[in-house]
Amino acid sequence: MNKIVLDGESLTFEQVTAVAYGRPGEPRVELSEEARGKVRRAAGAVDTLLERGEIAYGITTGFGAFKDKIISREEVELLQKNIVLSHAVGVGDPFDVPTTRAIMLIRANTLARGFSGIRLETLELILEFLNRGIHPVIPEKGSLGASGDLAPLAHFACVLIGEGEAEFDGEVVHGREALRRAGLSPVVLKAKEGLALTNGTTIMTAVGLLETAKAANLARFADVAGCLTLEAVNGTTAAFDERIHAVRPHPRQVACAKDLRQILEGSEMTRSFDPVNVQDAYTLRCIPQVHGACRDTVEYAVWLLGIELNAVTDNPLIFIEGDNIEVISGGNFHGEPLALAFDYLAIALSELANISERRIMRLTDEASNSGVLPAFLTEDGGLNSGFMIVQYTAAALCTENKVLAHPASVDTIPSSANVEDHVSMGATAAIKLRAVRRNLETVLALEAFCAAQAVDLRQKRIGEEKKLGAGTEPLYRAIRERVPFVAADDHMKGHIDNSVAVAAKFARTGGF
């Protein structure tokens, strides 16, 4: 992917992640010729409205509760600068560089539709930020999710006018200095531009998209980790039989069961029919039902974000038909669709962590695995605590997830003198989702760490090396490349960090 051409209508998940995690200019981002024409047309319409002296929200009026304050033509530029400076009130840690790059790309794509009134010069400067590696410092917190992500987007816009701070070449400097080092000049915002830059769902879309992409991969990682656990405790594949799922045909449940059968293909570590042990505990037997339902939430978020990526979400919007120009105020900045989806996904990821933690318990509790494995995965229990406290950490993260799974979307705090009287909290939902996803990533890594230890112990008890499944073998090898068998109590933090690195790589790339 050497180049991405934005037209406002066809941006994809893959393109966003390529730009987010890529190097500046690799891939290079450009505007399509059609988008250039649409942007010029809308900017020309704004000039026409000014010449006519027409009253239009955000162009010749104030914002929010000041919507009825008329702004003179001479003060229009100052109005746009003021909205950027006054709205830059974000707090908290800044977004990382990949998220910031996703934010800029998605914002540029929205503006490329040609309904926002931004000038081509300003839009192309955003693309230069991406291509040359200027990354505005954008605090995570401050958005209510309507009117969009005002505060954090204002921090992004500040750097376009030579204010604020930006990271360039590994160093955080003043916005004007970052522009100078990159050989660029700030813009002077014209009518409508400040509002076009700060109004919309870009922050929550960017964070949510990157997290959804990782969630999709972690759902697959959970399948593999669960199968490795099943092998370690001598579980059965009977519950994954195609016929069972065909009669309850939820698509993702069916697909998950199929994936599990493929992951375990060729395994010599599962048990055949045993009349005195015909079924496993729910955490193993119900993987298709639980993981499949969680996959449903991922698919919903993917579907929703595919629409939002190519939507126009600022306000007001400019519609042009012949010589007729209409500036119409609406509410596309409201993040309710995203907030609901991200809350739903956070709940699902919490469930993936919950069932994984219960499988860790089954690996470490000798009574729960019918004595197939030694207590706490150590052969010299008492002197050694083994993996006892690994399960504690997983339990702590799951408990934190239960708090974070409380939906942000059911909350609202009216703002702007009660003009903006219902807000989505979509950015909050996205940031919570990120925290839940990180916890899930760690819990799954802990399960893989424990399962690899358990496989080695079981192989030792069997007295011969048995084949793992086609899909579990790569996970086992990935863990063992970084983490040794723990024969006696050791400093576990390094082993956990290395296991998390395996899960993090899979979350990012979909492979070991």
Task: For residue range 475-495, list pLDDT tens digits in order.
Answer: 999 999 999 999 999 999 999
Indicate if the pLDDT at residue 205 is higher than 70: yes
CB atoms under 10 Å from CB of 316, counted, come to 23
Between vectors from CA 77 to CA 75 and to CA 80, what angle results, nearest 5°? 110
Give kind and range of the element (H or E) at residue 195: helix 193-198
- Model confidence at 63, in pLDDT bands (50, 70, 90)? low
- Model confidence at 106, in pLDDT bands (50, 70, 90)? very high
pLDDT, residue 190, reads 93
Give yes or no: 476 in active site: no
- Model confidence at 275, in pLDDT bands (50, 70, 90)? confident
Question: Average pLDDT of 75-82?
Answer: 88
Going from the C-alpha of 276 to that of each of 40, 272, 371, the distances in angstroms are 75, 12, 15
Q: What is the β-pairing status of strands 28-31 and 3-6? A: parallel
Q: At what angle do helices 388-404 and 336-364 cross, to 10 degrees?
A: 160
Q: How many residues does the chain have?
A: 512
Query: pLDDT tens digit string along 309-343?
Result: 999 999 999 999 998 999 999 999 999 999 999 99
Residue spans in the chain of domains classed CATH 1.20.200.10: 208-509
Which candidate, 49, 178, 43, 55, places its Cα nearest to that of 122? 43
pLDDT, residue 178, reads 98
Preceding omega of 316 cis (within 30 degrees of 0) = yes
- The span from the CA of 449 to the CA of 492, in Å, is 11
SS3 173: strand
Cα 25–chain centre separation: 22
From 57, 300, 392, 476, active-site residue: 57
Please spell the DSSP secondary structure of 409-450, one letter per residue: TT----BTTTTB-----HHHHHHHHHHHHHHHHHHHHHHHHH
The pair of structure tokens assigned to 261 is 């059968």
Q: What is the β-pairing status of strands 91-94 and 134-136? A: unpaired
CB atoms under 10 Å from CB of 326, counted, come to 13
Q: What are phi and psi of 237, to 5 degrees?
A: -90, 5
Between vectors from CA 202 to CA 197 and to CA 208, what angle results, nearest 5°? 165
The pair of structure tokens assigned to 134 is 């200027």
Query: Could you tell me which CATH class the domain 208-509 is placed in?
Result: mainly alpha
Q: Which residue has the tokens 């400019």?
A: 318
Query: pLDDT tens digit string along 233-256?
Result: 999 999 999 999 999 999 999 999
pLDDT, residue 463, reads 87
The pair of structure tokens assigned to 190 is 């014209």
Which candidate, 123, 115, 111, 99, places its Cα nearest to that of 19? 99
- The span from the CA of 236 to the CA of 284, in Å, is 9
Q: Which residue has the tokens 């360039």?
A: 168
CATH superfamily, region 3-200 = Fumarase/aspartase (N-terminal domain) (1.10.275.10)
User: What pTM value is reported for the model?
Assistant: 0.96
- The span from the CA of 233 to the CA of 503, in Å, is 22
- The span from the CA of 225 to the CA of 476, in Å, is 9
Residue spans in the chain of domains classed CATH 1.10.275.10: 3-200
Indicate if the pLDDT at residue 65 is higher than 70: no
